[in-house]
Structure 1
Amino acid sequence: MEQAGLLEALLQVSTDEASTREITEELSHYFDILTGVIVESAQSMSSSALSSDRMFQLSIKCLINFCANEVLALQLFNSCDEQRREKFLGALISLTLSDAEGDIKTLTSSLLVNLTVVSEWAAALCDKSYVTSIYKKVATKRKPSRTELQFILNLTAISKMRQCICDELDCLSLLVCLLRELNDASSRLSIAGIVKNCCFEERYHGKICSDEEDILCNLLVVLCGPEDNIDADDLLNLPPLIREAYHSQTVKRESDTSVKFTICEALMQLCSTEVGRSHLRRLRAYFILRELHRHECAVEGRIADAQKEQKRVQRILIFTIEQIVDQLLCEEADRPRGLRSLRDVSVDAEVQNRLEKAKDDYLNVA
């Protein structure tokens, strides 16, 4: 079978899970062919020529389909030697960052998204010197694509990438500002996820909480709504960005529950350190969270009892808001001395079980 015919057949197989299982033992061989086509084509052809090259596009599409399965994405990683992986990733990145027209950039970025769900691929990319350039190019776009943002989110599963972002927070600030501008909920969720993952890097909490970056103000403002009831004196103490949004009546609460939950998870991560908690108190986050809690409780009340999963998801959001508020209300003097992070607190098994049971009892919908 000529190579084009083989690739056509592989593309058809890649769309069917049962057919893919039948060729599991031969997949490493086919992966070698597919990555070989991509590497050799990228080395010998311009990006504009690749946009219309049938063999190249077939190879990319096959790998997108196969690597939607994490097990197969890992198999692809293990079947490539280091040199092939480097050339393969280099070809994909080069095209993703190029000015190529047509579907080719969407295809290559989609493949990168599927690959980097697997930590081995994500770590391999984060070891490359060009990873900072990739992030900066995406973050400084007026409207990054959904796949570009998902790709960066996947990379932030790796500590090295999170540190890279936290070392230059101006780009993260640009991304967070897009939370109020992007219509696509998936894109907003990716941005919220990037921030949340960066908040796991506790030694950067001081930078993330910098007033110069306004990252937290831009996170908090999307949790505000026009129906919030904050009295005039408390309103005056809110950060200027949030206060002006209330005064100009431009506040619009994030509509997607997953995005709100992810933002709250980021705030909860910041509450693990004193610097994070103290900064949230200075921003008067309590008043915003109080109004958010009131709003989300009202939303829960409107969800029919029969919609158990939706009700449970809503309760998880409410529970997380309450956890943040509890951390902010607890005085620092009441905490153990010398405690650097709440993650350092040891909880015995019995207490842990009681806490988990209390949480489950709260979240479970009868």
Structure 2
Amino acid sequence: MDLGAELLGLLGAGTRLDVKMGAVQCVLGVSGTPEGRRSLCQFPGLVAAIFDLTSDPPVTRDSYHILVNLTSDPASHRPLLDVPALLPTLIGRLFQPKYEYTDSVCSALCNLSREEEPCRAILTALPPTGLAQIVEMICGPQHTNLQYLGPLLCNLTQLTEGRDFLLDRSRCALQRLLPHAHTPGSGIRRGGIVGTLRNCCFNHRDHSWLLGEEVDLLPFLLLPLAGGEEYTEEEMETLPSDLQYLPEEKQREPDPDIRRMLIECLQLLCATREGRGTLRERGTYLILRSLDCWETEPALRRTCEKVIQVLIGDEPEAGLENLLEVSVPPEVQEKLNRLDEEEERELQQETAM
């Protein structure tokens, strides 16, 4: 009898509890390595049995640990999606009030949604109000311990359908998320929300709405990047009101990955003429200039400087105003790729010194 069949026999409903718990511990250990996860997924019945055990109270916690380990590996996604009950059950538990293992459910769904195919499957499996419920959970104080809700929403908004929900003018879903982009607490949760905003900035046709009075996105992007620097009265007047006269002890976003995503939001908003105009008029250059002097991460400084160059540079010629719609010739793209590779090598050398 092979190992998969033997384990499957030990995980069955009629197995003595102590034996079953020992088998679950064995599988948990195996699921901790890429090779182990691949070996487990060679037995579809075993994957289904592990999922079934998340409903078996004595081994529920460990079974969820196994499931989270499996979902962390893209090679395991197809065998998991082939378990018919997996997505409907996990989604049902996500929205089940006071479910004890919601955090594990969030982690598993977040891991699955990193890849396009399972992400689309999750989005399709959500109930009609699913995205609205996720936003409600993120914004509700009773769910502040669910760190992976933000990253889950971020992953879902990688797809056009996910972004379209948040960018629907008839809702206020995006506006509700904005204050959570810089609230203290979990960096994982906060990073997921900022990543969601960045995904929405890819929709260049919505830039005017995002930067207009109805959403007023810019202050929420700039505030985490701002410190307590002093500006002249004239400079201060160009800044959004929330960024004027900040205290000297004002701290910037401590997580470099979140700072990077915030700068990338600004970079995307610079892709359109209207976006560039709004960023220039509202003091974005001042915040980025101070950030560039403060920032210690070489890669972030370079990205910051690229945005600064766009803001202080001349406007593109007619027909090239929208940088996201410009068609780059293959030979130019190849040259740009080489320059990016050279820049990456230089960055690695700087980091190694």
Same fold (TM over 0.5): yes
For the 8 Å contact 2:157–2:200, the answer to whether it is kept is yes
For the 8 Å contact 1:223–1:260, the answer to whether it is kept is yes
One-letter amino acid matched to 2:80: L
CA drift of 1:318 comes to 0.6
Which of 105, 114, 120 lines up with 1:108 in the alignment? 105
Cα distance between partner residues in 1 of 2:135 and 2:256: 28
For the 8 Å contact 2:183–2:190, the answer to whether it is kept is no
One-letter amino acid matched to 2:283: R
**What corresponds to 1:323 in structure 2?**
306
For the 8 Å contact 1:229–1:291, the answer to whether it is kept is no
For the 8 Å contact 1:117–1:154, the answer to whether it is kept is yes
CA drift of 1:93 comes to 2.0
Is residue 145 of structure 1 aligned with residue 149 of structure 2? Answer: no
Superposition pairs of residues 176-255 of structure 1, within 5 angstroms: 176-226=178-228, 228-243=229-244, 246-247=245-246, 251-255=250-254
Question: What's the CA shift string for 1:268-308, capped at 9, x where partnerless?
Answer: 11111222212212222111111111222xxx3xxxxxxxx
- Normalized per residue, the structure richer in helix is 1
CA drift of 1:323 comes to 0.8
Structure 2: any 5+ residue segments left out of the alignment?
Answer: 1-9
SS in 2 for 1:177: helix
Which of 27, 43, 48 lines up with 1:32 in the alignment? 48
Structure 1 length-normalised TM? 0.79
CA drift of 1:325 comes to 1.1
Cα distance between partner residues in 2 of 1:231 and 1:153: 38
Structure 2 length-normalised TM? 0.81
Question: What's the CA shift string for 1:102-146, capped at 9, x where partnerless?
Answer: 3x2122222212222232221112223233233322332233621
One-letter amino acid matched to 1:356: D
Cα distance between partner residues in 1 of 2:131 and 2:344: 41
One-letter amino acid matched to 2:160: S
SS in 1 for 2:213: coil
For the 8 Å contact 2:270–2:310, the answer to whether it is kept is yes
CA drift of 1:8 comes to 5.1
For the 8 Å contact 2:273–2:322, the answer to whether it is kept is yes
One-letter amino acid matched to 1:31: V
- The more displaced of 271-280 and 260-269 is 271-280
Pair 295,88 (structure 1): closer, same or farther in 2 beyond 3 Å: same
**What corresponds to 2:68 in structure 1?**
64
Is residue 335 of structure 1 aligned with residue 351 of structure 2? Answer: no
CA drift of 1:326 comes to 1.3
**What corresponds to 1:76 in structure 2?**
80
For the 8 Å contact 1:64–1:110, the answer to whether it is kept is yes
Pair 271,249 (structure 1): closer, same or farther in 2 beyond 3 Å: same
What is the identity percentage for the equivalent residue pairs of Structure 1 and Structure 2? 22
Structure 1: any 5+ residue segments left out of the alignment?
Answer: 42-49, 301-313
Query: RMSD of the alignment, in Å?
Result: 2.7
For the 8 Å contact 2:41–2:79, the answer to whether it is kept is no
Cα distance between partner residues in 1 of 2:291 and 2:39: 51
Superposition pairs of residues 37-48 of structure 1, within 5 angstroms: none
For the 8 Å contact 1:8–1:58, the answer to whether it is kept is no
Question: What's the CA shift string for 1:227-264, capped at 9, x where partnerless?
Answer: x2421111022111211xx2555733112222111100
**What corresponds to 2:328 in structure 1?**
346
CA drift of 1:94 comes to 2.2
CA drift of 1:10 comes to 4.3
**What corresponds to 1:155 in structure 2?**
156
CA drift of 1:149 comes to 1.3
Cα distance between partner residues in 2 of 1:323 and 1:67: 36
SS in 1 for 2:215: coil
Pair 275,115 (structure 1): closer, same or farther in 2 beyond 3 Å: same
Cα distance between partner residues in 2 of 1:153 and 1:217: 20
Cα distance between partner residues in 2 of 1:74 and 1:178: 34
SS in 2 for 1:193: helix
Is residue 261 of structure 1 aligned with residue 271 of structure 2? Answer: no
Cα distance between partner residues in 2 of 1:157 and 1:34: 29
One-letter amino acid matched to 2:318: P
Pair 134,88 (structure 1): closer, same or farther in 2 beyond 3 Å: farther
Which of 84, 97, 106 lines up with 2:95 in the alignment? 97
SS in 1 for 2:148: helix
> Aligned residue pairs: how many?
326
One-letter amino acid matched to 2:177: L
Which structure would you say has the larger RCO, counting Cα contacts within 8 Å and 6 or more residues apart?
A: 1
Cα distance between partner residues in 2 of 1:192 and 1:149: 9
Cα distance between partner residues in 2 of 1:351 and 1:223: 32
One-letter amino acid matched to 1:207: W
For the 8 Å contact 2:28–2:62, the answer to whether it is kept is no
Cα distance between partner residues in 2 of 1:328 and 1:345: 21
Pair 69,237 (structure 1): closer, same or farther in 2 beyond 3 Å: same
Which of 168, 173, 176 lines up with 2:175 in the alignment? 173
